[in-house]
Amino acid sequence: MTLNEAVEGKEYIIKEIVTDDEELDAFLFSLGCYAGEGITVVSRRKGTCVVSIKDGRYSIDNELAEAILI
């Protein structure tokens, strides 16, 4: 299941990041977004979703959320 299908307010564990873009992968890693880490969808907006990873909140677009498997 992808992050786009996640229920708001429920914590999930990231299983895998599916991307061929090394720069994007490095960016997500710098946010603390990697396999085994917990992630929660805080809210959804038009074209984006706000997620909580560790102690931070980040707004990511739906295309990026589609690459995060939970």
Q: What share of the chain is helix, strand, coil (3-state, %, to 5)?
A: 25, 40, 35
Neighbours of 46 (CB within 10 A): 5
Give alpha helix (H) positions in the chain.
Answer: 22-31, 62-66
Tens of pLDDT, residue by residue over 1-28, are 999 999 999 999 999 999 888 998 888 8
Per the DSSP assignment, residues forming a β-bridge with 2 are 69
Tens of pLDDT, residue by residue over 41-54, are 999 988 899 999 98
Cα separation, 21 vs 1, in Å, equals 20
